[in-house]
């Protein structure tokens, strides 16, 4: 059974979707540990309620990003984590973490990348006036929100949408897409191949 480490920074609704999917067997894996760079967030409470190890590592306690990432890697290895999932983890990471879990870190982002990387993707979509946005699950690389895309789900932007109303539908799409990808990871269906120094990913059908 694949052991997962989930990194979070906030409410943890994507984490909850993963918790529910592992509990019901939809995802044939185990969330071994949840780590937050922000102490006291709801995501840690969700992990504790599910009986999952919940660790707060405040990035403010470390002199550099590399030192913080080294502490994260130490905890992930302590729990024998095989794959890492960023579920609302609001940190830029360094090669210390990326190299420790090369091609085994995935992230969920609320846009159809490469459109609207970074923060406030929902607001960016509304301000730009797009008619369709969505969410993306991708491999994490050194460049922010630029890793090889694994899966995307479109979300229609309604004429009367606010950031809140759009993000409500976005969250539903994120939950479904992230669960689907992590399910494929745990079933061994995600293939990662080297292609001109940039990984190429594909998901085999069941």
**pLDDT digit string (tens) for 15-27?**
999 999 999 999 9
- Residue 21's domain is classified under what CATH number? 3.40.50.170
Just list the catalytic residues: 109
Residue with tokens 């406030």: 120
Q: In terms of Cα–Cα distance, which of 88, 91, 101 is closest to 68? A: 91
Distance between CA 50 and CA 48 in Å, rounded?
A: 5
**What share of residues in the chain are helix, strand, coil (percent, to 5)?**
35, 25, 35
pLDDT of residue 90: 94
- Cα distances from 8 to residues 30, 47, 108, 201, in angstroms, run 16, 11, 11, 24
Expressed as residue numbers, the domain containing 69 is 2-203
Distance between CA 5 and CA 32 in Å, rounded?
A: 6
pLDDT of residue 195: 62
pLDDT of residue 142: 84
Q: Which residues of the chain fall below pLDDT 70?
A: 195-197
* H or E segment and range at residue 70: helix 65-78
Question: DSSP letter at 157?
Answer: P
Domain count, the chain: 1
């Amino acid at each position: 059974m694949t052991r997962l480490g989930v990194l979070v920074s906030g409410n943890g609704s994507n984490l909850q979707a993963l918790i529910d999917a592992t509990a019901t067997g939809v995802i044939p894996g185990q969330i071994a540990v949840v780590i937050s760079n922000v102490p006291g967030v709801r995501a840690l409470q969700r992990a504790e309620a599910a009986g999952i190890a919940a660790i707060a590592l405040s990035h403010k306690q470390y002199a550099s990003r590399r030192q913080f990432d080294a502490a994260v890697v130490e905890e992930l290895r302590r729990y024998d984590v095989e794959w890492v999932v960023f579920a609302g983890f609001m940190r830029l990471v360094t090669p210390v973490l990326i190299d420790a879990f090369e091609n085994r870190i995935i992230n969920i982002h609320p846009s159809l990348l490469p459109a609207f990387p970074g923060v406030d993707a929902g607001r960016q979509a509304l301000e730009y006036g797009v008619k369709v946005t969505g969410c993306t699950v991708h491999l994490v690389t050194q460049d922010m929100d630029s890793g090889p895309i694994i899966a995307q789900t479109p979300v229609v932007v309604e004429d009367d949408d606010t950031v809140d109303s759009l993000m409500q539908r976005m969250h539903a799409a994120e939950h479904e897409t992230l669960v689907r990808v992590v399910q494929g990871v745990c079933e061994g269906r995600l293939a990662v191949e080297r292609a001109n120094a940039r990984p190429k990913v594909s998901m085999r059908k069941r």
